[in-house]
Amino acid sequence: MAARYGVMLVNLGTPAAPTAKAVREYLAEFLGDPRVIDAPRWLWWPILHGVILRIRPPKVAKAYASVWQEEGSPLLAIGRRQQRALAAALAERTGEAVPVELAMTYGQPSMEQAGLALRDAGVDKILVLPLYPQFSRTTTGAVFQRLAKALAPCPHLPELRFVNHYHDHPDYIAALAASVREHWEAQGDRGRLLMSYHGIPKRYVDNGDPYGRHCQRTSELLAQALELEEGSWFQSYQSRFGREEWLKPYTDETLKQWGADKTECVDVISPAFAADCLETLEEIDAENREYFQEAGGGRYRYIPALNDRPEHIHLLSQLVAENTAGW
C-alpha cells in the first residue's frame, strides 16, 4: 500500500568536500541565485566569477575542514539524523510508514533526487518543510523557487503543501527554551543571553521581507518563556557579506563591545539555524568567541542548535501533522 503522503525536509546546502574545488562549485550555485544576491547579473557576474570564486574558496574550505565530520559536513550529518528521527516519529504517530527525504537548495542531495525517491515510494502528495523557522526571500523563498525549477520538467506534478514559517509556533519556542534551560542547568549558572540570527541585507527588509520581524518575535517569545528580565538578553545578526548595510546590530561588533565592557559570561544561541553548520560551529563558537575574549570578556558559551533533540523532532512531527490534515 502506497503512503498517503511524503515529506521533503529542505535545508540550505553544503559543499561535497572541504576542498577549494568543492567549495567553489557550491558557492557558484549559492551566490549565483538571484534570491540570495539580487544585484544585476551584468554587475554581479564579473564580481562573483572574477573575484569571489577565485579568492574565497581556499579560505572557506579551511573553515569547513575545521568542522568536517566523518559523516561529512555537520549540516548534512545532522540533516540525515533529523530525517531518520522524523520518519520514526511519524511512524509512531500515524501507525504507518511516512517517507521522509532530505534535500538541499544548493548541492547534494538535490530536490530532484529527493523528489524521485518520494515518487519511487509511491507518493503523489508532498509536504515541503524548509528548515527555516523565520521566513526570508533568501531562504524559504529560494526553496520555493528551486522546487518550481525542479518540478518544471515533470509530466505529472504531485500535490504540494508548503510550510512557510514556524517562527512563533509554541512547540518551536518550547524546544528553544528547553535547550537553554538544559544548558544553564549543566553550567550551574546563567550568562547574558545573546540570540544571534543569520543576517540579510537591510534593503530586503525595507522592501517587504518579513525576516526581521519574525526574528524579533521569536526572541520576544523565547525571552517570555524563559522569564528573562529586560537587559539580560539581546538580539543580533551574524554572517554579513559584502559592503552594504545588513540588519543590525551585528553579532561580532556586539560581542567585541561586551568584551570591552568586561562582561563576565555570555551564552550565545542561534535560533534561525535548525542544524549546526559552518555559521554556528566555526563563526559563532570559534571566531566570535575570539572577538569576545580578546576584547576582555570572560566565559563564552555556545548553546547548540536544536539539531535532532527530541523536542525538535516533536516540533517537526507536529508541523507535519498540522500541514497534512485531510490527506
Binding positions are 198, 279
Decide if 18 contacts 64 (C-beta within 8 A).
Answer: yes
Say how many residues make up the chain: 327
Distance CA 267, CA 36 (A): 29
Q: Cis peptide leading into 99, omega within 30 of 0?
A: no
**DSSP secondary structure letters along 60-75:** HHHHHHHH-BTTBSHH
Indicate the pairing of strand 192-198 with strand 265-269.
parallel
Closest residue by Cα to residue 146 from 120, 118, 112:
112
The Cα 31–Cα 197 span in angstroms is 19
Bridge partners of residue 234, in order along the sequence: 194
Measured between alpha carbons, how far is residue 217 from residues 167, 224, 255 in Å? 7, 11, 22
- Binding residue numbers for Fe(2+): 198, 279
